Amino acid sequence: MVKVPTTAFDPADFIRDADEVSIYLNDAFASGDPAVMAAALGTVARARGASEIARTAGISRASLYTSLTADGNPTLRTIISLLDQLGVELSAKPKAA
């Protein structure tokens, strides 16, 4: 059997601007799964520089990493601050029937 070399895929490597942040987060939010949403926010924070995002959002980098994992439980304040620093906003729309 021939072993095929592979490399790890990190979506953070492909998120470059606010439009891509929005697309990535909307897909995660559409899942309805809080763990997927938190992990996606963490991925986006890493893509945009977690240390700087945390500093400008007024939270520690460790707190940001801890809350934005699949097991994390970020506060609404953390989420809103993070989204603001990422250049996107939270909005709501009616559910499809």
- The answer for residues whose C-beta is within 8 angstroms of residue 77's C-beta and 6 or more apart is none
Q: What's the CA gap between 97 and 52, in Å, rounded?
A: 41
pLDDT tens, position by position, 27-80: 999 999 989 999 999 999 999 998 998 888 888 888 888 888 888 888 888 888
Would you say 18 and 25 are in contact if contact means Cβ atoms under 8 Å apart? Answer: no
**Per-residue pLDDT for 97 more than 80?**
no
Q: What is the pLDDT of residues 13-33, one digit of tens each?
A: 999 998 999 999 999 999 999
pTM: 0.83
Cβ(73)–Cβ(80) below 8 Å: no
